[in-house]
Amino acid sequence: MLKASFKTKLSMPLLFQSTNGESPAVNLRDALLNGQAPDRGLYLPEHFPRLTSAEIAAFAGMPYHEIAFRVLSRYTSGIIPDGDLAAMCREAYDFNIPLEKIHDRVFLMRLDQGPTASFKDFAALMMARPESHHIDRHQRRHGCGCGPCFPQSSGRAGHCPFPDYRGQ
């Protein structure tokens, strides 16, 4: 098999495989809409995109939503347009996320600063957006009234962090 160039790899959608290994790999859109692989496994990327040292160093001067966009775009390439993803990140992370200096070059990111004061806000607030993006596109394309996917939770973290999903 010929080795693809780095640029080609970035433009091709990343595939996600089941942790049980009995289902075919799917793109991000299908993984989000399926929720769980047919073999009841969880979807994981076939590989984890790498960031260079220079890219990581550049994060020091960026707001959290921009860092989230730069990292997530490695997983959404070819599936969610960059402009849409950047808007999702800005909307999801529209609150202050402080870093507290612990010692020398050791910092603590305060993940308890979201709407529900739970670290789960950081993943949950973002996950609702790509799901809604693809559900809306599916409904427009097929003219169906398929209901939205509701994020699952153990219920221990308090109220739902998704304003659009509360009370539904």
Verify that 83 and 27 share a domain, yes or no.
no
Domain extent, residue 21, equals: 14-48
Q: How many helices (H) and strands (E) does the chain have?
A: 6, 5
Residue 85 maps to a domain: yes
Residue 167 maps to a domain: no
**How does pLDDT run across 36-54, given as a tens digit for each residue?**
999 999 999 999 999 999 9
Residue 1 maps to a domain: no
**How does pLDDT run across 87-133, given as a tens digit for each residue?**
999 988 888 888 899 999 898 988 887 777 777 777 777 776 766 66
Domains identified in the chain, total number: 2
Residue 12 has pLDDT above 90, yes or no: no
- Pairwise CA distance, residues 161 & 159, whole Å: 6
Kindly state the helix (H) or strand (E) to which residue 138 belongs, with its residue range: helix 121-142
Verify that 41 and 92 share a domain, yes or no.
no
- The percentage of residues in the chain with a pLDDT greater than 70, rounded to a whole number, is 69
Verify that 57 and 140 share a domain, yes or no.
yes
- The average confidence (pLDDT) of the chain is 77
Predicted local confidence at residue 130, as pLDDT: 64
Predicted local confidence at residue 95, as pLDDT: 83
pTM for the predicted model, two decimal places: 0.69
Residue 150 maps to a domain: no
Verify that 29 and 95 share a domain, yes or no.
no
Verify that 28 and 85 share a domain, yes or no.
no
Residue 151 maps to a domain: no
Of 111, 124, 133, 129, whose CA–CA distance to 159 is shortest?
124
